[in-house]
Amino acid sequence: MYKHDVLIIGAGLAGLRAAVEATRLGLDVAVISKVHPVRSHSNAAQGGINAPLTDRGDDWEGHALDTIKGSDYLADQDAVEIMSSEAGDAVIELERMGVIFSRGEDGRLGTRRFGGQLVARTFFVGAITGSAILHVLYEQALKHGLNVYEEWFVTDLIIEDGRCVGVVALDIKTGTLHSIWAKTVIMAAGGAGRVFEPSTNAIICTGDGLALAWRAGVPMMDMEMVQYHPTTLARTGILLSEAARGEGAHLLNSEGDRFMLKYAPQYEELASRDVVSRSEQTEINEGRGIDGNVLLDLRHLGREFIEDRLGYLQEVAVEFLGIDLAEQPVPVRPGVHYIMGGIKTDVDGATVVPGLYAAGECANVSVHGANRLGANSLLDTVVFGRRSAVHAAEYIKSVDAGSGSDEHLNATKARIQSLMDREPNENWAAVRNYMANEMTKGIGVFRDQASMEGAKAAIRNVNERMPNIAIQNKGKVFNTDLIFSLEMEFMADVGNAIVHSALTRKESRGAHFRTDITERDDENWLKHTLAYHDPDNEDGVRVETSPVTITKWEPVKRVY
């Protein structure tokens, strides 16, 4: 039987940071991940990680205010204060572990500018920041001899007497199911971009963690807040980092105008992402786009600069489009990138289910509110990854391990067997592609009642088809057909929570911009939406609201 003090689901930055901390505290820790740790999607982060370093003149309150303003005042300010004030130490610690951040002439860490901020406080490694940090955290995991269940897929959480005491998981390489028991479980299973199409997210970002916690009774908070990144490639959705604009790239419309000067005179191309994406979409909708795109122009930065500081972007542009950024502007458009919403946690990562913690993109603390600032997500993962481990370690002092019974394992075995036994009928890929396209249509950069109702109908259609999804592959070893079908179930739950939360919020705030109600309404909607799993309700969802925590920054109108 597999048994640990702390089991962490996910080996991205949030999961590995939590693991390193828990290991240092002397606990028996294991990480479980459906892909090898270094394949986790954190490796895709290009641009950088924000941190106000107080020892060189920045103040954390400035970063907090930028974050809160970026969030359109939906972030909980107590959580933001924690993130901003712990940021400096978190980044310095990564450097000491071995991250080779770019430096200035003086040999100390250097910065670049990122969106929604006038201060340059984004620390970076070329355009491979996420990969560089993920590999270093993996090195630390190797150093500490961390247990890793690698290429194991979590299918269920084990809940006993209302407490989370482990998981049931499928070993992908052998096709066998196991239970893994733990005194506490930290969910760090990443985002859900694949609920939409196209998206900048990896194929593995299917919202598993969100759905698993949701089924266990934890609400998903502010799920309508889906970030569209302003500079993604058409067709594939692959990202060109905000670092391009941070380093001075311009956005042009078909007439060659830098249109952001009009929409955001002070911040220009570096306004908040929701603002830039809406501006681009407006240009496109009003006929000043080029085949549904605008242009990102880096030519004036010069070849050497581009290759040195933005090498990976150049690689992507050349490999995927055949465009040399030093010679030609590249067509880009808004694309789904990040989910601000997530499993509701407190500032220590705890959820309402005892024993279940959450951190990283799947969690919602909430520090990003209605719109996340670029380079704040990596910060979120390391700050709250660490905190959740510290608090989980406290928690386990007073609890016993679970029963060790085979009941949960057997239930999952039966469920999967019945899935495998279905007669060939509906294919998961067809259902997923339909859902993802409809979600992008309905829950877009701009949305209204009708479009959101359309997405809701699509999700209903998906849920009706779900019981007919059959698995063509009957083998045990590396049966991705089975994995994708299980992921499809998770995605449908996430989609469901998104449409119901979106329909609930009757205002425009941050990423949730309704063309039928265009104003922010602090009087009625300075609130979080909480989507609960409720089989007795229509579509199995119940949406409630809860107040936003304001400490010292009263909401004012957002101008960039």
Ligand X SMILES: Cc1cc2nc3c(=O)[nH]c(=O)nc-3n(C[C@H](O)[C@H](O)[C@H](O)COP(=O)(O)OP(=O)(O)OC[C@H]3O[C@@H](n4cnc5c(N)ncnc54)[C@H](O)[C@@H]3O)c2cc1C
Binding site for ligand X (CB under 6 A): 9-15, 32-35, 40-42, 44-49, 129-130, 153-154, 188-191, 200-201, 204, 208-209, 239, 241, 337-338, 360-361, 374-378, 381
Q: How far is the CB of 395 from ligand X (least distance, A)?
A: 21
Decide which of ligand X, another protein, none touches 476; Cβ closer than 5 to 8 Å per partner kind.
Answer: another protein
Which of 273, 278, 309, 509 is an active site residue? 273
CA-to-CA separations, 495 to 436, 519, 544, in angstroms, rounded: 9, 25, 17
Decide which of ligand X, another protein, none touches 473; Cβ closer than 5 to 8 Å per partner kind.
Answer: another protein
- 495 phi, psi to nearest 5 deg: -60, -40
What's the one-letter identity of residue 413?
K
CA-to-CA separations, 183 to 6, 167, 396, 402, in angstroms, rounded: 6, 11, 6, 7
Q: How far is the CB of 293 from another protein (least distance, A)?
A: 15
CA-to-CA separations, 291 to 274, 304, 335, in angstroms, rounded: 21, 30, 15
526 binds another protein (CB under 8 A): no
Nearest residue (beta carbon) to ligand X = 12
Closer residue to another protein in complex, CB, 158/233: 233
What's the CA gap between 397 and 227, in Å, rounded?
39
- 338 phi, psi to nearest 5 deg: -155, 150
Structure tokens at 545: 């609201």
Q: How far is the CB of 188 from ligand X (least distance, A)?
A: 5
Q: How far is the CB of 196 from ligand X (least distance, A)?
A: 12
252 binds another protein (CB under 8 A): no
420 binds another protein (CB under 8 A): no
Closer residue to ligand X in complex, CB, 208/224: 208
Q: Report the 3 state secondary structure along 409-461.
A: HHHHHHHHHHHHHCCCCECHHHHHHHHHHHHHHHCCCCECHHHHHHHHHHHHH
Q: What is the DSSP letter of 103?
A: B
Would residue 39 be called left, alpha or beta, if left means φ above 0 and alpha means ψ between -120 and 50 degrees? alpha
How many other CB atoms are found less than 10 A from the CB of residue 333? Answer: 25
400 binds another protein (CB under 8 A): no
**Helix axes 480-504 and 208-215, enclosed angle (nearest 10):** 70
Closer residue to ligand X in complex, CB, 372/514: 372
- Report whether 275 contacts 560 (CB < 8 A): yes
Catalytic site includes residue 273 = yes
Q: Which of residues 169-228 bind another protein (CB under 8 A)?
A: 173, 202-204
Q: Which of residues 114-133 bind another protein (CB under 8 A)?
A: 125-126, 128, 131-132
Q: How far is the CB of 211 from another protein (least distance, A)?
A: 19
292 binds another protein (CB under 8 A): no
- Provide the CB-side half-sphere exposure for 518 (13 A, CA): 2
Closer residue to ligand X in complex, CB, 51/543: 51
What's the CA gap between 549 and 556, in Å, rounded?
15
What's the CA gap between 364 and 174, in Å, rounded?
34
| # chain residues binding another protein, by CB under 8 A | 64
Decide which of another protein, ligand X, none touches 63; Cβ closer than 5 to 8 Å per partner kind.
Answer: none
Q: How far is the CB of 107 from another protein (least distance, A)?
A: 4
Q: List interacting residues with another protein (CB under 8 A).
A: 35-36, 38-41, 43-44, 55, 92, 95-98, 100-110, 125-126, 128, 131-132, 135-136, 139-140, 142-143, 173, 202-204, 235-236, 238-239, 308, 312, 315-316, 319-322, 427, 429, 471-473, 475-481
User: Which residues have a catalytic role annotated?
Assistant: 273
